[in-house]
Each structure stands twice: as C-alpha cells, then as structure tokens.
Structure 1
Amino acid sequence: MTETIDCAPNSAEARDIRFHLHSYTNARLHEATGPLVIERGEGIYVFDSEGKRYIEAMSGLWSVGVGFNEQRLIDAAVAQMQKLPFYHTFTHKSHGPAIDLAEKLVTMTSHLTPGGMSKAFFTNSGSEANDSAIKLIWYRSNALGKPDKKKLISRQRAYHGVTLAAASLTGLPNNHRSFDLPIEGVLHTGSPHYWRDALPGETEEQFATRRAEELDALIQAEGPDTIAAFWGEPVMGAGGVVVPPATYWDKIQAVLAKYDILLVADEVINGFGRTGTMFGCETYGIRPDIMIVSKQLSSSYMPIAALIANERVLGPVMDESARIGTLGHGFTAAGHPVATAVSLECLRIIEEDGLVANCALQGARLRAGLAALADHPLVGEVRGVGMIAAIELVTDKAAKRALEVPGQLGGMVNKALQDNGVICRAVVDAIAFCPPMIITAAQVDDLLVAVSAALDRVAADLGF
C-alpha cells in the first residue's frame, strides 16, 4: 500500500487509511487522499481535526435534524443507560421506551391510511426495515395462499438501502455492480424526474400519466397476480432529490389499487418534517400500507428505524405466526431501550420546537435562494421541497449535459464547497442540500453565499 497523504504516522488520518474500509468511497483513492476527520459538532456546524468549522448542509446523512449537540437527547440516552441499558423484544418480552415509541408512531401515522396503522416493528436501520418489509410481504402472500404473489416493483434512481434485498430495490447502478444484484423478482420502473426524463413538449401531468401507464404495462406483462408491492420514496433522496411532478402519486396509486398491490412508502429521508409536513405522505396525498422511518426519528444520535404497517398487511402475518408457532424474524438490538428513549425525546423536540414549520419556512428561503442562481452557467435545474433541495449542474444548458465524465462536475463543486466551509453531497452531477431542521434564516443566507462562491470558482476554472 502506498500512502501519499501527508500526515503523521500515528495520526487519525493515517490510522484510518490503514484500518478502516469506508462506505461509498473509492477505497484505493482513499489510501492516497485520506479522510476528513470530524471531531465535534455544535448546532448546524461540525469541526474537523484542524479546528475548521463547516456548515453541515447534509445533516450528516440526511439525518441530524435537531443539530449536533442537543443536550436533551444526550440526557435521555444517559438516563436510559443508567436505568436499563439493554433489553430485547423477543419471546413475549418488552420494555417501556419501545412500547411508548410504538404507540407514538402508530398514532402519528394512522391518519395516512384507511383504517389506520396497526403496529410498529423496530430495526436498527432503514435498510433492515425495508428488508423486513420484503420478508413480511412474502410471508403475508404465503399466509393468503398466494405463493406466486412475490414480485416487487421499485423505481430507477430509488434508494431503499444496502442489505441484499433492500439494495435490489435501490435503483442506482453502483449499488448493483459486482454485487450480483438485483435479486430475482425485483423490478424497476421509470423515475419521476420530469426535467431529465420528460419528452419534448410533454407537460408534468402528461409525464406523470406516461409513468403510470408504464407501471401498468409492467404489471400486465409480469402478471398482476405475481406482483406483491410497490416501493417509493415520496421525494427521492439519494437518487438526487427527485421531486415528483404534479398528479404523479395520484396516478401511481390508482394503478396499484386497480391490481390490489401494496404500497410501501419509504420515509427514511422524508419523514418527521423534511418535506415541510410531518411526513412526505402528507405532502403528496400518499396512502401507504407500510411506512419505513428512520434518520430524523432519533436525529441519528442512536441507530434505529421502524416499519409501521396497517391491518391489511399485519392481519395475515399474525395469523401465519400463530399457525407456525412464531414469527421467525427479529434483530438483537431492535427496539433498543436507549435508542427508543432517545427517539421519543427527539420527537418531542420536533413537535415542541416547531421544527416542521421551520423546515417549511427556512426551506422556502433556501430554495428561493438557490432558484436565484438559475441563470448561472453551471446551473441546469434547481429542485426541492421543504428542507431538501438540489442543484443539477451542467456545462450545456440546452443539452442538459455536464462534463464528459459523469460526476466530475459535481465533484468539483462539492470540493469547492468543502473548501468554503460547507459539507454537501454530490449525487453524480447534482449537489444535494438537507441541512439540520434547526437552521436559521441567517444561517441559510450564509449557506447560499458559500454556494454562489463555489459555483463562481468552478465556472472560472472551466473558463466560463
């Protein structure tokens, strides 16, 4: 191994290069460049090992809604650790924080689906929750005497996680390459990105109609009796902040209802305020059978996620568990008492501090400021909703094309932003923004100044 990074042999950077395999990272390039080591956090800011301050405009990984040093969450974790540091939910066992959080989540989401939600099932990550949903849906089909009703439909550019089955639902090529994915029975239909995928002269509603017709045709081709469920993020996150066009979700849901296909709403990024309402399902009138939540649930202070499902899903599952004698699925740390206690406190903060309203208010300010950059030579599209947004970067506006190598332009702007004290995320050639939900108007303005300066710097480097 050749290390070209200039650092002391026993520094954190050098030890990271030697011992740590990173997610979503070019492993060989990392040996040469090393990591940005973050030492501490304060509000919307994080500080690296050299003391440099950054606006964390991605909330870590779309997730630290209440900021990086919320004392109430720290206190909740300490108090629960002192009282009951671990217990499980296997074999008729439970504990107070898991019971309280399950009740809270079912209550919060019941108005979103006819008949209300029934129960919550806890996992440690969104990937595990989506994987669990797949297993429960297959289990349900068997319980109903429909062993062929097992196929799942997701969308191109979707992100639903990285476990074997959840990564198959994910519609991003690099999550499939060399992993032998997707697994059999997972299908993908077109993404809802109007700017990128619409035909010339096609309106948003016409585009939405075409996407719904394509879904209908896929179901017909595969056989309606073989399709169990459809997965969708209300707003796509890791696929580039893809906001659905007008009427899209109404039309998609009509197709699913026509064929009695379950709808799984992946709210891992959208949930608990990001879209300017408590859930993305509220923003877009989505009526799910299953919801997947994580990230903002604990502000990522603790690993936790949940699957929340209605009786249409869980009734047959519970009956089948009675026939077999057990529901043979679960995770050691699922519903962990510390994680559930922290999540309960996080939800109290979101509600008591009006963070959903702040997402709507400051998100509008952020998106308006980004929209004001629309005439910049590197800006092809600005999109977003609530406190989640993206700039699609181009070098040729008419052709909607960036540099020859996909992701090169995004990487350049992302680096310029980091140099300017802003941590964002380049999704190929889109720059995504998802700052903490506590951000103020003044901090939004600081972020916008840094974005404009980074675009200008890269444009000058490219000769614009």
Structure 2
Amino acid sequence: MLDALDERANYSLEDMDRNSLFHPLTSIAAHMDKGPAIMDGAKGARLRDHSGNELVDCSGGLWCVNIGYGRPEIAEAAKQAILDLNYWHLFGSASNEATIRLADKVLNLFHEQANARHLKRVFFGTSGSDANDTNYKLVRYYANLRGTPEKRKIISRQGAYHGLTAAAATLTGIPSYHKAWSLPDTGVIHTSCPHYFRFAEDGESEEAFTDRMIAEIAAIIEREGPETIGAFIAEPIMGTGGVLMPPKGYFAKLQLLLDKHDILLIADEVITGFGRLGQWFGTGFYGLKPDIVTLAKGITSAYFPVSASVVSERIWNVLEQASPEYGPVMHGFTYSGHPVGAAVGLANIAILENENMVGNAATVGAYLLDGLKSRLAEHPYVGEVRGAGLMIGVEFTADRAKRTPFHAGSNVHRLVASKAVEHGLMVRALPFIEVVSFSPPLCITKAECDLAVDRFAAAIDDLTPKMSELAKAS
C-alpha cells in the first residue's frame, strides 16, 4: 500500500491526467502517447501554459471567452451571488432576481440591437448542446399543441455544428461526430453545405450557387411533404464547419421559402451571439427573423455554463393558449436559470457594453482579417481567408486556382495549428474541411493581432515544404 502511495506521489501532472481523465474530442491513442497540453493561467487575450510559455489566444477557448480572461469584476459578481443565493431553481414558478434580469436584458438586446422585437421569452440551460436539445423538443411540442403532430422533422445542413448530445449531434452535419455513435438518428434531414468556395461547380456564380442551394431545400420540402417539416436550423455563419459565410442572398431566399411552408427558423447563435461578428447578434447582422435563437458561450464569456433558447411570440402564444389543456411544460434542468450563472451573465454583458467590445470586434476584426489576407495573399496553399468581426477562417487548398482540396487525411490545417503553438499562437484546426479558425477574445488589440499574423505566417512558412509534398499527392 505504501509503495502504491509513493508511486502516485511521484506522478507528474501529465501522468496523473493520463491515468484519471477521459477527455472529450480527443484521440485516446494520441493522448496516451503525447499527454495533455496543460494551461496554468490567462489574462486578457494571453495564455500561459504549464511550462511557462505565453501564447496569444486566437481561439477564445472554444469561441467563447468574449470579454477575455481574468476579469476581477466577474469574480466579484460570482462571489456575491454565491453569498446571496448560491442556488435556486425555476420549476413550478420559482424564480430569482438575477435570472429575471438576465432574461429581460437578453430580450432587450435582441429588440434594440437586432431589430428582433418578435422574440418574447427566454428558456435557460447550461450548454449550447442542451439548448439545441430543448429546441428539438420545442419543435415537436409546438407541432403537437397546434394539432399538427407530423410537422416535426428538422432540416439541417452538412457541415453544421449544433452540439453533441443525442438530438444535437443528430442536428450536427459533420460525419466525424457520428462515426461509431449510431448517429444521425431519424427526424433530421441534412441538405448541402452552402459554402461557395469549396462546393460551387466550375463557372457557377455565387448567385447561381445560392439558387441551387435553395432549390435543393425546396425539393426536400416537396419530397418529404411540407406538412412533415417543422423547422430549419442554421448558424448565421457556420463555425465549426469552417467559418463558412452564407452566399449572396441565401438567408433572404431561405426565409421566404420557410415562410411559404410554415416552417420555423432556428438560428444557432451559440458562436455568433454577444458581439463576435462586430454586432450583438447574427440575427441583426443578416436581418434574420428566427422563431428560436440558441445562445451560449458569449452570454457569460465562459465564466459560468449558461445557455438559452429565445422563443418568438408566434411560438409563445401557442404554448400559452394550450396551457390550460396540457398543463405544465414538462421540460427543464436542475440548473436552468442558475442564479450565480445569471449574475455572471449580467456582469459579462455590462463589460461588453461599458468597454464597447462589440465595436472593438468590428474594428479590430477587420484589421486582423486584412492583415491575414495581405500576408497570405500569395501563398499557393491558402485558398481563402474570410470572416466577419472576430470570427475568421483560413482555408487551405492543394491548388488555389482550381480549388482542389488536399487529399483526405493529410490534415494540413492540423499541422499548421500545431506549429502555430510552437510559435506562441493558439488557433484551432476545424473538423469538417481544412480550415484554421481565429476567434480571439473581443478585447484583443491591434498590436496583438500583428503578433498573431506574424506567428501564423511563420508557422505556415515552416510547413510550406510539407504542404508541397502533400499537394502533389492530392
């Protein structure tokens, strides 16, 4: 027994991790071989790893640390909330002041900043995944209360990311999240990914590409029967799929099609919400009129797990009118509307407002995008640099002129992201196509952007010979 204790005392933190943690979205084989990348601290837009190395964080964690790391105001708000009321629930009409005020604030932001006055109620959860599970169920609930129970199918898109709980993973349109999980399940139909650069046909204009994407959705509705389609779910900009911008006219034509067939629009703003695009919400950025909006990440800048489903008057009226017959809404979570999370959310939004971080995202985001475009403009294996605000993607291609992708499994973007860490830059390699994303905290400065561009370019320069080899094999 003593020998066992002595052996454990000599474990490094890395060994302890290998022997105790089950990591999400991680290759077990690679992890057991290389071990964890441990972070010890962070401030603003900078990270410090376990070896003392400093990195410019252009990942924002997982797109989520909008106000930056280490804000004492958030710590104070959380401390006071814990002392005042560390927990209460929302079941059976129970409530608390912080959650009431956060719901009211979120609605006011949509009304005033996104011209979305039709949004009327907020349902709270703890993650974007559980929020989209809520939305999945709400589509069915709404249909049943209206007396149209067959109108329950949801159309999603290839390349979409909507979370990894069972329903949310089915909504997600990225095959790697389905492999070995017996997913996707029934009730969700995936249409083509509307990414013009990668999936347009030779000689096809962007407008023609949009028309083809919309025609495909119309054909799905016709094939399945509009009486069976309850909703369409879409990220304003597809994040994990590769920072994929909607092609010209896409959402305007989509909205008309959905309205024609009485189909709900779910806008997944888990990433785009709370300033990342240089506006408060993608709903306002693209002039959307969603029936449900999914929120998480930026609502607390990841200082506390909070998510939300914001529902429209159209849906709320049906729920309210059916309530005497159907009784309580039998859905909810222990931590829905957690008072500490709500207090953190309010403090987070106050920082975004008081320090004009949404405006900074617009200004500095454009600066970072221009810097990346300028520095990488002539690189033979950079196909496209795109984005809005501080949501930017760099797509790699084996032949830029022909838009030829690298051979499957070459993982060029993963090599670049790994090399960038060696140069002191944290970026993310995404799982759908060969894209590295930039989503730094909204407080990032132009000087830090310059440093990020230099370090990213250096990483690409280091790997250009390897890219040439891989391009020849593609």
> Above 0.5 in TM-score?
yes
Q: Give matches, 1:301-380, under 5 Å.
A: 301-372=303-374, 373-380=376-383
Aligned pair in 2 of structure 1 residues 189, 237: CA closer, same or farther (>3 Å)? same
Checking the alignment, whether the CA contact within 8 Å between 1:113 and 1:288 is kept in structure 2 is: no
Q: Give the CA deviation at 1:264.
A: 0.5
Q: For 2:103 and 2:406, how far apart are their aligned partners in 1? A: 48
- Describe the superposition over 1:80-112 as per-residue Cα deviations: whole angstroms up to 9, x where unpaired: 011111111111100000000011111211365
1:441 to 427, 438, 446: 446
Q: Give matches, 1:29-68, under 5 Å.
A: 29-68=30-69
Q: For 1:216 and 1:73, how far apart are their aligned partners in 2? A: 47
Aligned pair in 2 of structure 1 residues 151, 340: CA closer, same or farther (>3 Å)? same
Q: For 2:175 and 2:183, how far apart are their aligned partners in 1? A: 9
> Which residue in the other structure is 1:88 paired with?
89
Aligned pair in 2 of structure 1 residues 315, 461: CA closer, same or farther (>3 Å)? same
> Which residue in the other structure is 2:386 paired with?
383
Partner letter of residue 167 of structure 2?
A: A
Q: Give the CA deviation at 1:282.
A: 1.1
Q: Give the CA deviation at 1:317.
A: 2.1
> Which residue in the other structure is 1:171 paired with?
173
Aligned pair in 2 of structure 1 residues 322, 407: CA closer, same or farther (>3 Å)? farther
Q: Give the CA deviation at 1:248.
A: 0.9
Equivalences, count: 458
Q: Give the CA deviation at 1:175.
A: 1.1
The answer to whether 1:415 aligns with 2:418 is yes
Q: Secondary structure at the match of 2:273?
A: coil
Q: Secondary structure at the match of 2:92?
A: coil
Q: Give the CA deviation at 1:395.
A: 2.8
Q: For 1:374 and 1:167, how far apart are their aligned partners in 2? A: 36
The answer to whether 1:401 aligns with 2:398 is no
Partner letter of residue 453 of structure 2?
A: L
Q: Give the CA deviation at 1:13.
A: 1.0
Checking the alignment, whether the CA contact within 8 Å between 1:143 and 1:319 is kept in structure 2 is: no
Q: Give the CA deviation at 1:407.
A: 5.1
> Which residue in the other structure is 2:75 paired with?
74
Q: Give the CA deviation at 1:325.
A: 2.1
The answer to whether 1:150 aligns with 2:152 is yes
Checking the alignment, whether the CA contact within 8 Å between 1:265 and 1:291 is kept in structure 2 is: yes
Q: For 1:28 and 1:203, how far apart are their aligned partners in 2? A: 44
Q: Secondary structure at the match of 1:416?
A: helix
The unaligned stretches of length 5 or more in structure 2 are: 1-7, 470-474
Checking the alignment, whether the CA contact within 8 Å between 2:381 and 2:467 is kept in structure 1 is: no
Partner letter of residue 309 of structure 2?
A: L
Checking the alignment, whether the CA contact within 8 Å between 1:143 and 1:316 is kept in structure 2 is: yes
Select between 392-401 and 439-448 the one with higher mean Cα deviation.
392-401
Partner letter of residue 30 of structure 2?
A: L
Aligned pair in 2 of structure 1 residues 115, 77: CA closer, same or farther (>3 Å)? closer
The unaligned stretches of length 5 or more in structure 1 are: 1-6
Checking the alignment, whether the CA contact within 8 Å between 1:402 and 1:409 is kept in structure 2 is: no
- Describe the superposition over 1:32-57 as per-residue Cα deviations: whole angstroms up to 9, x where unpaired: 01110001111101111111111111
Query: What TM-score does the superposition give when structure 2 sets the normalisation length?
Result: 0.94
Q: For 2:417 and 2:409, how far apart are their aligned partners in 1? A: 14
Q: For 1:421 and 1:323, how far apart are their aligned partners in 2? A: 60
- Describe the superposition over 1:195-229 as per-residue Cα deviations: whole angstroms up to 9, x where unpaired: 01111122211111111111111100000010000
Q: For 1:364 and 1:165, how far apart are their aligned partners in 2? A: 36
Partner letter of residue 74 of structure 1?
A: A
Q: Give the CA deviation at 1:423.
A: 1.1
Checking the alignment, whether the CA contact within 8 Å between 1:42 and 1:69 is kept in structure 2 is: yes
> Which residue in the other structure is 1:459 paired with?
464
Q: Give the CA deviation at 1:285.
A: 1.2
Aligned pair in 2 of structure 1 residues 49, 8: CA closer, same or farther (>3 Å)? farther
Partner letter of residue 269 of structure 1?
A: I
Checking the alignment, whether the CA contact within 8 Å between 2:115 and 2:284 is kept in structure 1 is: no
